Amino acid sequence: MAMRSLRVRDALVYRDHVQAIKAGLVSSIFTCNQLIHLYSNHGLLHEAHKLFDEMPHPNVFSWNAIIMAYIKAHNLAQARVLFESASHRDLVSYNSILSAYVGADRHETEALDLFTRMQSARDTIGIDEFTLTTMLNLAAKIRVLCYGKQMHSYMVKTANDLSRFALSSLIDMYSKCGSFQEACNVFGGCDGIVDLVSKNAMVGACCREGKMDMALNVFWKNSELNDTVSWNTLIAGYAQNGYMEKSLTLFVEMIENGIGFNEHTLASVLNACSGLKCLKLGKSVHAWVLKKDYSSNQFISSGIVDLYSKCGNIRYAELIYAEIGIKSPFAVASMIAGYSSQGKMTEAQRLFDSLLERNTVVWTALCSGYVKSRQCEAVFKLFREFRTKEALVPDAMIIIGVLGACAIQAALSLGKQIHAYILRMRFNVDKKLLSALVDMYSKCGNVTYAEKIFQPVTDSDRDAILYNVMIAGYAHHGFENKAIQLFQEMLNKSVKPDTVTFVALLSACRHRGLVKQGEQFFLSMEQDYNVLPEIYHYACMVDMYGRANQLEKAVEFMRKIPIQIDATIWGAFLNACQMSNDAELVKQAEKELLKVEADNGSRYVQLANAYAAKGKWDEMGRIRKKMRGYEAKKLAGCSWIYVENGIHVFTSGDTSHSKADVIYSTLICLNGKLYLSFTELKQLYEIQGGSYSRQKRYCSTIYATNSVSYLVTYGT
């Protein structure tokens, strides 16, 4: 059907051309210019250029028309060739190329060079408001505030800062460059005259900053001005800030108020459905899209791919993706994210490799996928590839992904290098990047560096996420008092704690045996902060009681858990049982744990270790035998160390390292020395009625094949 309608439109264009020839108007420059536009609008670039070549004396409008035809066809290289060879050029010619460069990826340098050239020739070609707002868009795109401020200064000097388009561009630039207060100052300086374009830009700036109450106030002020763009901006803002239900409520309100919606509205609604992982509602929106014939729109089709990917229905996502004619970067990124969420990184990489052109969206999607699947070496390799192949400065989300990989591997040296790169490239260090840096230093063992980054951050920039990573850093390193003090500061600054906050606090309490403090935090979650306890909170409490040797409290606490107890809680309970001499509780934990996770080899090893700790060697052997019978697999223990500018990975029982012979000979030597220690303990085991020979063999085997022992031996 689409092909047929295209042919009908082509026939109409040809008919107009034939009629022009018959009327003897072919020699008219005006008519030829109109025909070039007509051909261009219908994608007939070859015909447009052929007509242009046949013109004996093309004027500046002719040159602008053919240049714009190539810009519409996304062929900027040929558009620039025509621009340079044009016998006539005016401000429209320059603005057309400049705008095209700013709107495309990887052409930022060309845009800056062209603007410099325009400044040099401003006496002959001039610079107008369109030129300056386009450069503001460039500053916003590359997030370079100093460029934007220079443009603003120039606009004030030339009185080009007063129109509604200039004001909206300034608000947008300051917002995207991380200077929200300046955006507010521009909006507040409108002398009480609020126009729709500036108002919509301010709503967008508030949403970008996460200030949704302020966005709502701006939206409802002079509400008679609100149009479809206003509603779309607010609906999208709520969805992007995680308020999916509110986003959908606003969409319903929009329909009830008789405001017409478009493809951007539906894209935001699909985003909300994806965020809620509500497949049923998403399918309803998909049906609506098909009924309204919006499926050919790239925003919509990308949103549908994203919906099915996030809801775990990769087969549907693949079907929709296959039907998309021109694959948008967002659709590709959604498919990559979908594959990544299911651990299918081979398919994600294959899709990425098939792209002829890649923008930051797909680079970020693949990088995030590797981080989520904990394939850190792949993250580092991808970042090196990005820096080699792309002229752009990496998007902040790519840097956040690389910092996440450094945190996973505790690669402090690499993390410092990335931090230096951020400073050298003058990144706009926003809240997300700050949180990633604090988290990286904390997990790499340098809580002092994490503090140095956290402390200078102003109160306005300290959100729940930043507080959470710092509290978790303190808790992980045994600074429970600092963690609790920071929590109190968080409350004093009116930052609302969430589920992650309480996981960090309870972790601090369980590691330091602060049972009463932990109980107070747990009770306050729901009573004071309306935060419902989740699996990890219950597991922390059980583990805390176990570490404090209060098994009776752990048993009583588990009886009161209102949700279904999963393997995480039973695993914590099993650890608690190891602190007591009650073998029956271990039996109970075994029964429940294997009922939930019978195919998880790690649980069998955990049970075997629990029986071994109590000297129940027959039970340990029974568990090992059961594990083999079920063919349950346990991921091999893995450790790594950063030595001599490289990461060395060690796996239990692995002999593939280049210095394996030296490592093993050293371990044999250490094992021989441990034998003396075992001999000294022999008498003690015999007095306790234990089997010394089994214990010795068990401990020697564990030590000799443990990945940590490889790492320590190599590192020293």
* Digit-coded pLDDT (tens) for 42-52: 888 998 899 89
Cα angle 691, 694, 697 (rounded to 5 degrees) comes to: 145
Tokens of 57: 């004396």
* Digit-coded pLDDT (tens) for 454-471: 999 988 888 899 999 999
Say if CB 483 and CB 503 are below 8 A apart: no
Q: What is the C-alpha separation between 39 and 35, in angstroms, rounded?
A: 6
Position 3 scores a pLDDT of 36
| Percent with pLDDT over 90 in the chain | 41
Choose among 217, 221, 196, 197: nearest CA to 207. Answer: 217
Position 392 scores a pLDDT of 67
| Whole-Å CA distances, 50 to 27, 32, 44, 167, 242 | 14, 11, 10, 42, 52
Position 594 scores a pLDDT of 67
Burial degree of 468 (CB within 10 A; 0-12, 13-18, 19+):
buried
Choose among 242, 244, 231: nearest CA to 270. Answer: 244
Q: How confident is the model at residue 714 (pLDDT cuts 50, 70, 90)?
A: low
Position 617 scores a pLDDT of 72
Position 101 scores a pLDDT of 95
* Digit-coded pLDDT (tens) for 429-453: 888 999 999 999 999 999 999 999 9
Position 361 scores a pLDDT of 82
Residue 621: φ, ψ to 5°? -65, -35
Position 563 scores a pLDDT of 85
For residue 647, what are the β-bridge partners? Answer: 642
* Mean pLDDT of all residues in 673-691: 48
Classify residue 632 as left (phi > 0), alpha (psi -120 to 50) or beta: beta
Does residue 512 register a pLDDT over 70?
yes
* Digit-coded pLDDT (tens) for 597-606: 656 666 667 6
Position 47 scores a pLDDT of 86
Say if CB 321 and CB 302 are below 8 A apart: no
Q: Average per-residue pLDDT in the chain?
A: 82
Position 511 scores a pLDDT of 86
Position 459 scores a pLDDT of 85
Tokens of 345: 């990184």
Q: What is the C-alpha separation between 26 and 4, in angstroms, rounded?
A: 28
Position 4 scores a pLDDT of 38
Does residue 659 register a pLDDT over 50?
yes
| Whole-Å CA distances, 685 to 295, 303, 312, 680, 692 | 74, 65, 53, 10, 6
Q: How confident is the model at residue 150 (pLDDT cuts 50, 70, 90)?
A: very high
Helix (H) or strand (E) holding 700: helix 692-705
For residue 633, what are the β-bridge partners? Answer: 600
Position 431 scores a pLDDT of 86
Position 674 scores a pLDDT of 55
* Mean pLDDT of all residues in 402-425: 92
